[in-house]
Homo-oligomer: A and B are copies of this chain.
């Protein structure tokens, strides 16, 4: 039912149109990397004069920078080169996962400028302490950001659970229930390193943010609709449809790890039985291969090494997980009709053994017939598809969508 006429909203006034056009020009330059005013005008369909006026405002506010360099290869007067500023507005992404915290600062172009990752076990501590730990790690990146003339405008948390309205409703693998994560993190950040005015803190499910990073930076080509799975201790999932994250009515969509495989199967941390996580999560994989199911990241690496060395038990364990993944994925594909399924986390390195059985299930069970054997629709995520980067880029996207709203926060 979507159409351009109704999406205009009740009333479009001049100021709204100018704010929209500022965003349009800024995003056009970001997409091109380097652009002239004439190039932008051609791309966005505004007059050269209108674009020049908009560009001036964006230069004045510090969103664009201009180099002496000119493009003379094109017809008409040579124009100076515009770029999105490498200093100024930045986003901070903080992924707090089960056995690590990773913080990423990106600039307006989406480039990863600062990265700090600490491996630690977040399962033992209280939620407030885990969030304070994350805030301290994030605070350490603020100095690096300042040294690079970056001015963070906000923090986006990426959390392994059901996140909505600033609260983690449930994160079974962390043992969290109704944790006001944004508030606790903001308090801890203010204590660790006061910023004036305080940085707004938002929160989102980590698989959702990893999927966005994959969409924005993963080289997916024309793929705009996909199902993203992140194999970790839990199995996270996210749905992207036509380039937009599908959050669901309450923000809880994408929980593919808790789709039932066998109604009478083993008890899951979520309270149900026989969830996919019990068959294709990291613990199930390690256990199936005869490894310590709590071995974490080193365990996943060992599993891969065993499979590479031809270990039959490891290969069988991965194959069985792939089959169960494929069954659940075929149902999800029948429901959602994506262009692709992207497997991230530990699945990335297990693809040679995981993918064939999963692909077989998709071939047999997807009713549209659009997933024949080796269709290439089941694929590994790129290295870009990480939640911290997606989180940081989400902050920056808000700036790109309405630069005027951030015009007073552009200098470090």
> Chain A: residues with CB nearer than 8 A to chain B?
1-12, 16-17, 19-20, 23-24, 44-46, 162, 169-170, 172, 212, 224-225, 237, 239, 241-256, 258-260, 263, 270-273, 327-328, 330-332, 334-339, 361, 364-365, 367-370, 397, 401-402
Contacts and interface: CB of A to CB of B under 8 A. Distances in A.
A247 B339 CA distance: 12
Contacts of A46: 11
A252 B6 contact: no
A271 B335 contact: no
A145 B248 CA distance: 40
B367 A255 contact: yes
Copy number of this protein in the oligomer? 2
The residue among A169, A172, A247, A368 with the most chain B CB atoms within 10 A of its own CB is A368
A393 B30 CA distance: 42
A14 to B, nearest CB: 10
Given A1-B244, A17-B8, A334-B259, A339 B249 contact: yes
Contacts of A16: 4-5, 8
A335 B239 contact: yes
A243 to B, nearest CB: 7
Contacts of A244: 1-2
B337 A250 contact: yes
A224 B243 contact: no
A4 B255 CA distance: 28
A364 B258 CA distance: 11
A180 to B, nearest CB: 17
A291 B35 CA distance: 71
A170 B1 contact: no
Nearest to A334: B255
Contacts of A402: 3, 5
A8 B8 contact: yes
Contacts of A337: 247-255
A361 B272 CA distance: 9
